[in-house]
């Protein structure tokens, strides 16, 4: 008789249901030694792992030791609480988006995007906006229903906002690819503040994306949505057309 998952108390799955095994790796700034190994085991215990095991450890340089470990996680999550609104992933295809936009919006949707601040990487914004897109998915430039402006990288927030106002943008997209010490949070917050200061927050959809950006973080910072790794242009387009349509409907 196969056991079924208890969705009110989910733990990680490795080999058997409810074994709770988790892989972790980290470096400690201590010399390579048996004491270092012991330190890693105790630390994993403090993290809440039971039966921690060091499967590999090595010296990186004097005073630094790297560990690969396993441990059994005894914390669990009630998955049944995480159902419902906001958790369903349902995207439209490019064709469906075009049709939806035509019917529900009925005019060109203007999108302005940039990689802002000191970030020199345009790879994210290019993947979303440029015709070529990413992995065979067109960027928004290739959609009939969108008119796009890709300002590239290292764009000051003020320039991005000015451009958005100039062209009457329906949505602003901000990309933050490389960041350190939460620089992206500062950059993203500044943009929201500027849009608000211009009194345009209500007219524009604000979305941000990047490897360190999540939907949760984005909303916390005052954006309408955030997109992380694995996002394709049609994911973003789905969000924009739906959001815009609901705003149009709301008048």
Partner 1 sequence: MSNSKLGLDPGVVSACRQAARQIAEQVSEQVAGRTTVSVERSVTRLLGVDGADSLDVPLPNVLVDHVHDRGGLGRGVAYWIGNAMLQTGRTPQQIAESVSAGELVLTELDLAEERAIHTRVMEECAARLKDISGRFEERRAMRERLGDSPAPLRYVLTATGDVYEDVVHAKAVAEAGGDIVAVIRSTAQSLLDYVPYGPTTEGYGGTFATQANFRIMREAMDEWSEQHGRYVRLSSFCSGLCMSEIASMGAWEGFDNMVNDALYGILYRDINIVRGLIDQRVSRMINGYFGVVINTGEDNYLRTADAIEAAPSVTASQFINHQLAHESGVPDSQIALGDAFEIDVPVRNSLLYQWAQAQLTRELFPDCPVKYMPPTRHMDGNLFRTHASDTLFNLVTIATGQGLQTIGVPTEGIFTPHIHDRVLGLQNVDYVFNAAHDLGEEIEFKQGGVIQTRAQEVLASAHVLLERIAQTGLFRAIEQATFGDVSRSVDAGRGIEGIVTVEEGYFNPVVELMREVSYA
CA–CA distances in Å: residue 98 to residues 141, 144, 145, 146, 234: 12, 7, 6, 9, 10
Size of the site for partner 1 (CB under 8 A): 31
Q: Which of 159, 95, 155, 158 is nearest to 125 (CA)?
A: 155
Strand order in 49-61's β-sheet?
21-28, 64-73, 49-61
Does position 119 interact with partner 1 (CB under 8 A)? The reply is: yes
Give the active site residue among 38, 132, 219, 229.
132
Does position 105 interact with partner 1 (CB under 8 A)? The reply is: no
Does position 23 interact with partner 1 (CB under 8 A)? The reply is: no
Instruction: Verify whether residue 229 is a known catalytic residue.
Output: no
| From candidates 94, 126, 141, 224, binder to partner 1 by CB under 8 A | 126
| From candidates 84, 199, 202, 230, binder to partner 1 by CB under 8 A | 230
| From candidates 41, 94, 101, 122, binder to partner 1 by CB under 8 A | 122
Query: How distant is the alpha carbon of residue 130 from its chain centre?
Result: 20
* Exposed / middle / buried, residue 227 (Cβ in 10 Å: 0-12, 13-18, 19+): buried
Does position 12 interact with partner 1 (CB under 8 A)? The reply is: no
Cα distance between residue 236 and residue 233, in whole Å: 5
CB of 237 to partner 1, least distance (A): 20
CB of 80 to partner 1, least distance (A): 28
- DSSP, collapsed to helix, strand or coil, labels residue 206 as strand
Query: How distant is the alpha carbon of residue 230 from its chain centre?
Result: 9
- Contact in structure between 127 and 187 (CB atoms under 8 Å): no
Cα distance between residue 156 and residue 209, in whole Å: 16
The interface mask with partner 1, positions 46-85, x = CB under 8 A, is ------------xxxxx-x-x-------------------
- DSSP, collapsed to helix, strand or coil, labels residue 184 as helix
CB of 1 to partner 1, least distance (A): 34
Does position 153 interact with partner 1 (CB under 8 A)? The reply is: yes
Does position 4 interact with partner 1 (CB under 8 A)? The reply is: no
Cα distance between residue 78 and residue 93, in whole Å: 32
Cα distance between residue 126 and residue 206, in whole Å: 17
Stretch that binds partner 1, among 84-92, 146-154, 165-173, 195-203 (CB under 8 A): 146-154
Q: Which residues are catalytic?
A: 132
Binding site for partner 1 (CB under 8 A): 25-27, 58-62, 64, 66, 118-120, 122-123, 126, 130, 132, 135, 152-154, 178-181, 183, 211-212, 229-230
């Amino acid at each position: 008789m196969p056991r079924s998952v208890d969705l009110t108390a989910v733990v990680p799955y490795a080999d058997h249901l409810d074994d709770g095994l988790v892989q972790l790796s980290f470096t400690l700034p201590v010399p390579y030694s048996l004491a270092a190994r012991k330190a890693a085991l105790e630390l994993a215990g403090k993290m809440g792992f039971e039966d921690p095991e060091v499967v590999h450890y090595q010296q990186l340089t004097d005073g630094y030791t790297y560990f690969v470990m396993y441990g059994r996680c005894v914390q669990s999550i009630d998955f049944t609480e995480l159902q419902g609104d906001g958790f369903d992933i349902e995207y439209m295809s490019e064709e469906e988006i075009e049709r939806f936009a035509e019917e529900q919006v009925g005019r060109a949707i203007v999108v302005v995007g940039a990689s802002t601040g000191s970030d020199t990487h345009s790879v994210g914004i290019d993947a979303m906006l440029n015709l070529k897109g990413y992995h065979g998915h067109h960027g928004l430039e290739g959609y009939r229903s969108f008119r796009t402006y890709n300002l590239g990288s290292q764009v000051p927030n003020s320039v991005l906002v000015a451009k958005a106002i100039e062209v009457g943008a329906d949505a602003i997209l901000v990309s933050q690819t490389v960041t350190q010490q939460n620089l992206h949070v500062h950059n993203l917050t500044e943009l929201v503040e500027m849009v608000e200061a211009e009194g345009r927050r209500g007219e524009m959809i604000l979305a941000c994306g990047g490897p360190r950006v999540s939907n949760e973080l984005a909303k916390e910072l005052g954006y309408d949505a955030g997109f992380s790794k694995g996002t394709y242009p049609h994911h973003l387009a789905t969000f924009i057309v739906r959001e815009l349509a609901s705003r149009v409907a709301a008048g």
